Structures are given as structure tokens and as C-alpha cells.
Structure 1
Amino acid sequence: MSSPQTDTTRWYSGISRYQWLVLIIASAGWVFDVYEGQIFNITRGDMLSELLQGDQAAVKGWGDRFLAIFLLGGTVGGLVFGSLADRYGRRPILIVTILLYSIFSGLTYFANDIYQVGVLRFLVALGIGGEWAVAASMVAEVFPSKARAQAASIFHASSILGTWLAALAGILVATQWRNAYLLGVLPALLIVWVRASVKEPERWQQQVDQEAEQSNKHLAGSFRDLLLNPRWSGRAFGGLMLAAVGLGTFWSVTVAGQDLVKELLLRTGTAAEDVGGMAKFAYGIVQASGGGLGLLAFGPIAARFGRKPAFVGFQLLALLIVPVVCFVPQSYTQMLFILPVFGFLTLGMHAGYAIYFPELFPTHLRATGASFCFNGGRMLAVPVLLFSGWLKEQPDMQLRYAVLGLSTLFLVGVVIILMMPETRNQELPE
């Protein structure tokens, strides 16, 4: 891969209307993708209490099981649909994945028992896992190298709109959790837009034509080529572990921001009935806003200094901010000032997955490889999630110390990225 000369023009100079359109459509799909995941986190207390008739012990257990089911569904969907996107094209698989999570989210409105919800959450996750891989690959292939990092960063940062939407929906529906899942049907309308506006990226079409001439179509979306070809296998497993660290720390550290707020409020004498709403606002709006800025910032930082330095810097600073958010705030107001920084540093690196993973693989493996890294990382994050839950439940373990200990995973992420290749200023591999 050759390195093009550094372009001193603004990154968005020369970007066409069609390229912006692809970014908007990919981001819209990702917004609702994230909504489908976050709405369960926000409504699961009311949902499970109703379906389990108030058995709070069962509510806690089923909540963890559903999260594991969701991660499993996302992994399976990402691997399957990522491979299919490399074989049959980005547009048709994008349509299928959006339709999948839209329909089964809407059907959750009618769920009457715990097992129906479990099946529906798995099916929703299938679509969510597949949509990210396809959309991230499209953005990487449509935008030129000088704008790829910024465009992919905007794409991934749009997730914050999904978090906000879920938080607002959770507040508006209150205990009427079923209504929040009806909103999940809306992204099905994107399909009309996708069919009318999106065409296959030129890189993918050229790859198809080349494979037809060389009778090599079996290599498109091939897990054998991805995992057994030494040129790609190291990148695939390295990306998988990098994502596992990021997703593991997300569920065990970043999401714990809401529980840290609750603990602080109860410790400082806030009325129990007020704690839930205040914690939702602090996490879903304030911390999420800082996280969104971090996602947006990662792209320009990665474009200027490189992908590896950006990952290293964010993970080291995330390690430093965790003890601050755990032990420094002595009031709700102080916590509200620190949470945006906490969100910025612990969540911002996730934009790097949309930037970095598609750059590691050739066109015939791009969606497959990116999905293997990101969605495979979901499965490796499950043991971290289970250990986190066990650790936080120990009678002698304070939440703040548990979160502090789990944050040492960021150091593992630093070691992993140092062993990975740098892709800044390089064309996508073919």
C-alpha cells in the first residue's frame, strides 16, 4: 500500500452531494441501531417487573441474560451479514438488516412473556450487528482517504443521537415501556430512501468485476481467507481483541456512570424517589453529550496524529479519568461537571473502530473483517460483563473500587494497539 502525499486542503473539500448522502443514510441507520440497544437498558426495569410479576431477584437475573442474548445475536448477525455484504453487495444487505431490527423491535410491543422477549431481542440484535458492519464499510469505501477518518467519526458519533432518543423515549413513556418499542419501527422507512438513493460503492463493483474475470468469487466474504491468510489473520484477531477491550470497558465502566450517580445521590441524602430520574438525566444526556463530542473528536485526532496514537492517548486518559469520577465528586452538581469528560474519554475511542477496522482489510473482506473485529469483540466482552456483574455484587466491594479495578483493561488495549499496523494516509487495501 502506498502513502499518498499529505493533502493540506480541508478534509471536506471536494466531497460530493452523493458522498454526504451516503454518510447521512449510514448514520441514520446507526442512530436507530443504537436506539434499539439502549431502549432496553432504559426500560428493562419496568418491562421485566411487569412480565415477571414484580419478582426483583428474577428481574436482575433475566436482565443479565437478555444482555448476553443481545450480544450473542449481534455477533451472529454481524458475522453472517458482513460476509453476505461482501458477496452480494452493501445495499441489499443494509436493507435486510434495517428491516430485521425494525420489525422485531415493533413486535416487542406485543410480547406477553419473558421467552418471547428473549427471542425478539436476539432477532433485533441480528439486524443491529449486521447493519454496523455494512454501513461502516460503505462510508470507508465512498469517502477518499483524506476524509475517511472524519467521515467515519461522524458516522459513529451519530450513535449519541440514538442514546438521546432512547433516554427521551424512556422518560416520556414512563412505565408504559411497550410504546418505546413502537418507535423502533420507524427506521423501516429508511429502506425506501436506501433503495432510491444508494448505489454500490465503486470499489465493491470493481472487485466483483475482477472476481468474475478471474473466477475468484468464492473469496468474497470468505472466513477461511480472513482467518487463515497470514496477511489478514493477524489484523482480524488484533482488531477483535481491541474491540473486546473497548466493549468490555463500555459495559463495565462507561455504563457504570449511571450507577455511580445513583450511589452518590443516595450517599448524600437525596430522596430515593428522585434518584432514578436524576441518574437517567446525568447518564443519558450529560455523560452521553460528552461521549458524543469524544466520538466526533477522535476522527480529526486520528487523521492528524495517526490511528495508533489516537487509540493510545484516549485509553491512557480514560484510565486517568476513572478514579476522578469515582472519588472526586462530593455533590450531584460536581458529578455533572465531571461526567462529560468521563464520557468523552471512555467512549470517544469507539469511533476508532468505524475508522480503523475497514482500513485493515481488502474490498472482498472489508465488511467481513470489520464485522469479525467489532461483533466478535462483543462475544469476548461477555466474560468481562459477567465478571463485572459478579464483582459489583460482592458484599464487601464498593462500586467505585470495582469500576476502578475494571478500568485497568484500558492498559490491555494500549498493548494491543501497539502491535497493530498504522493505516493513516494509506489507501484501502485491495
Structure 2
Amino acid sequence: MATTPAIPPSTTQAPDHVRERRRLHTKLKLATQIGEGIDGYVIGGIGMAMTALTADLHLSTLMEGLVGASPLIGIFVGGPLFGRLADRYGRRPVFLADMLIFLVGSVLQFFVTDGMQLFLIRLVMGVAIGGEYAIGAPLLSEYAPKQGRGRLLASLEISWYVGYALATVVGAVFEDVDGGWRWSLASSAVLAVVCVSLRGGIPESARWLLSKGRREEAEALIEKYGIEIDVTAELDERTATQQAGFRALFRKEHLRSTVFASVFWAALVLPYFAIGTYWTQVFEALNMGDNAVAALLVYSFTAVAGVTAGCLVVDRIGRRRLLIPPFWITAGCLALVAVWPSSTPVIVCGFLFFIFLNAASSALTAVYPLEVFPTSLRATGVGFATAMSRVGAAIGTFLLPMGLDHYGARFVLLIGAAVLAIGGLVSQLLAPETTDLDLANAARRAREKPTP
């Protein structure tokens, strides 16, 4: 059988093919976007609930830090674990299993009686979040056309920030309710039920089937749904990538992609998670008054605006331009706030620019990691990069309250600025330009030295 590229979808396709493709794309997009939104909802919800649950459960500073960081710690395990399972056994079963974990964990949060129980439950939910990063976006990317793929994948980050902001709103609604933090945290079960219902019937990835040599099954899906896949490039990548698993990520041909995806992602999310989770404490440390809740809402919705802007321009200006300059600008913003902590205009403008541009670049966390690894390593690579990004985020979230207590807000903000600067430097050296390339060709480009 000749290894020729699959014919792209066209207007000459039978109406049944067009309907099948649209139905699949809509269902898969919704199932992935809601899953991504739940990730943001679970992580964002703790920020509004932390003060009340700390008082109700009598948490120490240590346990407060553990509860705040627990999902991020779980992601460290879930990303590589679910990624490896998805590359070995298929995208479809993992896609459903991790959402069932969300559903059970969401309900159990309502019944906790001490900090350790909440820590363990949210730790397991973090494992599921890691699984969602490792399988949701890769599966969507493997059915996406190369034109507009960046915008489609970046829209997942909009869902994440919308979920984060929605959790903030729900938390504010329940803020004055006795035990309201329980309802706030458990409310993610509603979204999980919807998502589980959507994921039934979604087929296996045709690209994954090709990576396993199951060409007839893959071509049946390509024919049924009119999927645009360069079959030749996928088979060439399968031949070039003989070794799979974690060790393959550190082979010479994939090491550049592994380091880049891990470092740029970690540098983007560490300051955002740490500051967002303990926004009330940061706000008070900067002597900004008693409107922390209103400020957190502004923080969240500014991020939604930023990631939306990133989604709109990611395919127009290219990946590198959306990533590298904002790294340097946001590092400068946090440094300015640290240098002039008594200036309200500097604080307000500095944080707004930081939030907006950081969120805009964060659109690439749903794009770049999927494009720099071949199909046989995609979920494993994304899972590993997710884990590495959350190591930094978990450390930052765990240490931030203690850093504020011992060294003050200026020190914390300067550390955040340094992390962003490291991200900018690594991206300058390693980030490839993958806009409008087929996934297999994008992975090949990532192994080359980037052109500034």
C-alpha cells in the first residue's frame, strides 16, 4: 500500500462525511475544553476558599501550603503516568478515565473533616489534572488541521482561565455562607458530569494508530471523518522514533524539545499560580487596602482577556513572537512592583501588564508541547513537561506564604521576575517556529536549531 498523504477534506466530500467530521470535531472540542476548564476551576477555587477552610479545619501554615500545592504535586505524578499510558494503550481510554477521577474527587471534597483528608483528595485530583494535560490537548491536536491549529489549541487555555475565573465567582458567592467553601469546591462535580457524558463514543486517534503500525484502522477513520493527515510524514516519524517511553525524551534527538517544553511552561505558570493562590496575602503585604476579593476578580478576568488575545494572534504573529517578548516584559513588570512597592500606580499597572501578557503567552502551553514531540512520544512528552512545570509551580505555591512571612513581598516578586527572565532566555535559544506545519513536520522542525 503506497505511503501517500491522506486527501484533505474538501467540498466534494459526501454530506455524511462532512456531518461526521463536524460532529466529531464539535464533540471533541467541547469535551476537551470543559476538561481544561475543570482544571482551572479546581486550581482557582482554592484561592477564594482558603481563608474560610483554614479557619474551619484549623490548618497550620505548613498544612495550608500543602493544601494549596496539592493539585500541583499530583500533576507531577499524573502527567507522566497518564501520558505514558496514552502513548502505550491509546488516547481514548485515558481520556475517559481521568474525568471519572475528577468526578469522584469533587464530591469527596464536600465531606472532609481535616486538612490531611483535603490534601489527599486534591492530590488525587491533581493526578487527574496531569492526565488531562497529557491526553486532552494531544488528542484534539491529532484531529486538528494544520491551518488554525494554534488558535484551536490555544482556545483550551481560554477554557482554563474561564474555569479559574468562574471558580473565583462561585467562591465569592459562597464566601458568606456557613461552610460555603465546601459547596464551592464540590461544585466542580457538575462540570465533570457534563464532560463524562461528552467523552463517550469519541474514537481513537488516527495518528496514534499510525504510530503503532495499525494503518488500516487509521485509514478507516481518515476516510470516515475526512481527517487531514500527512500519512507519509507520520510513518516517517514512526520509523525515525524507534524508542518510546521516558528514556526516549532524553535521547539526543528529543532532548531539545524536552528541555524547552518543560522550562518555558514552568517559567510561565510558577508566578501566576503562586501569586493567584495567595493573592489576599500578597495584596495585604503590599498595603493595598481591604479590597482583595475585588482585586482577585480583576486578576482573574484580566487573565481571561490576555489568553483570549493570545488565542487570536497565535497563528498570525507566530509562536516565537507570542512567547519571547512577553517573558522579558512581564519579568520587568514584577521587578518594577518590587522596586516601588509604595506606588499604587506602579503596582496596579505592573500587575495588570504581568497578568495580561503572562496569560497571552500561556496560550502556548496548549500548543507548543504538542507540536515539538512526534506522535509516538506526544502524550509522554506533554505529560513530562506538565510534571516539570508543576514542580516549579508547586514549590512556589508551597513556599510563597513562608517567603512573605520571612522576607516580604519585594523578595517574592523579585524571585518571580527572575523565573520569567530564565524562561525568556531558554525560549530565545530553543523555541522553534512551528506555525502552519503539519504535526509530524513540526516535530521534525523542533529537532533543528531555531531561526530567530
User: Structure 2: where are the runs of 5+ without partners?
Assistant: 1-17, 218-234, 444-452
Report if the CA contact (8 A) 1:77-1:126 is conserved.
yes
Report if the CA contact (8 A) 2:334-2:414 is conserved.
yes
Deviation at 1:389, TM superposition (A): 4.0
The equivalent of 1:321 in structure 2 is 333
SS in 2 for 1:146: coil
Q: 1:335 to 1:18 in 2, by over 3 A?
A: farther
Deviation at 1:398, TM superposition (A): 3.9
Q: Please give the residue correspondences for 1:403-422 in structure 2 after superposition, counting only pairs within 5 Å.
A: 403-420=413-430, 421-422=432-433
2: CA distance, partners of 1:428 / 1:155: 18
State the percentage of identical aligned residues. Answer: 22
1: CA distance, partners of 2:279 / 2:310: 21
1: CA distance, partners of 2:309 / 2:243: 33
How big is each residue's C-alpha offset from its partner over 1:261-280, in whole Å with a ceiling of 9 and x where there is no partner? Answer: 3345xx46x5xxxx2xx312
Alignment TM-score, normalising by the size of structure 2: 0.79
Deviation at 1:258, TM superposition (A): 4.5
Q: Please give the residue correspondences for 1:29-428 in structure 2 after superposition, counting only pairs within 5 Å.
A: 29-52=35-58, 58-174=59-175, 175-176=178-179, 177-186=181-190, 187-196=192-201, 198-210=202-214, 222-227=245-250, 229-253=251-275, 258-263=280-285, 267=287, 270=289, 275=290, 278-283=291-296, 285-323=297-335, 327=340, 339-386=351-398, 388-394=400-406, 397-400=407-410, 402-420=412-430, 421-428=432-439
Q: 1:282 to 1:61 in 2, by over 3 A?
A: same
Deviation at 1:301, TM superposition (A): 3.3
Report if the CA contact (8 A) 2:143-2:205 is conserved.
yes
Report if the CA contact (8 A) 2:47-2:168 is conserved.
no
2: CA distance, partners of 1:126 / 1:84: 13
Alignment TM-score, normalising by the size of structure 1: 0.82
1: CA distance, partners of 2:395 / 2:203: 40
Deviation at 1:345, TM superposition (A): 1.4
Higher deviation after alignment, 101-110 or 241-250: 241-250
2: CA distance, partners of 1:108 / 1:371: 25
Amino acid of the structure 2 residue aligned with 1:225: A
Q: 1:101 to 1:67 in 2, by over 3 A?
A: same
The equivalent of 1:6 in structure 2 is none
How big is each residue's C-alpha offset from its partner over 1:377-427, in whole Å with a ceiling of 9 and x where there is no partner? Answer: 211444444554443222xx4414531443122111111112223322322
2: CA distance, partners of 1:72 / 1:219: 31
Amino acid of the structure 1 residue aligned with 2:322: A
Deviation at 1:335, TM superposition (A): 6.7
Report if the CA contact (8 A) 2:32-2:140 is conserved.
yes
2: CA distance, partners of 1:426 / 1:207: 18
Deviation at 1:223, TM superposition (A): 1.3
How big is each residue's C-alpha offset from its partner over 1:102-153, in whole Å with a ceiling of 9 and x where there is no partner? Answer: 2112111111222222221111111111112211112221211111111111
Report if the CA contact (8 A) 1:315-1:414 is conserved.
yes
SS in 2 for 1:422: coil
Q: 1:110 to 1:253 in 2, by over 3 A?
A: closer
Amino acid of the structure 2 residue aligned with 1:223: F
Q: 1:170 to 1:220 in 2, by over 3 A?
A: farther
1: CA distance, partners of 2:334 / 2:415: 10
2: CA distance, partners of 1:212 / 1:304: 36
Report if the CA contact (8 A) 1:257-1:339 is conserved.
no
Deviation at 1:309, TM superposition (A): 2.3
Deviation at 1:36, TM superposition (A): 1.3
Amino acid of the structure 2 residue aligned with 1:423: T
Amino acid of the structure 1 residue aligned with 2:41: Y
How big is each residue's C-alpha offset from its partner over 1:60-92, in whole Å with a ceiling of 9 and x where there is no partner? Answer: 221112234332211101111111112222222
Amino acid of the structure 2 residue aligned with 1:95: L
Report if the CA contact (8 A) 2:98-2:131 is conserved.
yes
Report if the CA contact (8 A) 2:334-2:354 is conserved.
yes
Q: 1:152 to 1:42 in 2, by over 3 A?
A: same
Report if the CA contact (8 A) 1:82-1:221 is conserved.
no
Deviation at 1:347, TM superposition (A): 2.5
1: CA distance, partners of 2:93 / 2:52: 36
Report if the CA contact (8 A) 1:30-1:131 is conserved.
yes
1: CA distance, partners of 2:343 / 2:426: 36
How big is each residue's C-alpha offset from its partner over 1:339-372, in whole Å with a ceiling of 9 and x where there is no partner? Answer: 5433211222221111100001111111111111
Amino acid of the structure 2 residue aligned with 1:206: L
The equivalent of 1:5 in structure 2 is none
1: CA distance, partners of 2:187 / 2:299: 23
2: CA distance, partners of 1:212 / 1:377: 37
Amino acid of the structure 2 residue aligned with 1:310: L
SS in 2 for 1:408: helix
Higher deviation after alignment, 248-257 or 347-356: 248-257
2: CA distance, partners of 1:109 / 1:169: 15
Q: 1:297 to 1:258 in 2, by over 3 A?
A: farther
Deviation at 1:334, TM superposition (A): 9.2
Report if the CA contact (8 A) 2:208-2:376 is conserved.
yes
1: CA distance, partners of 2:245 / 2:81: 11
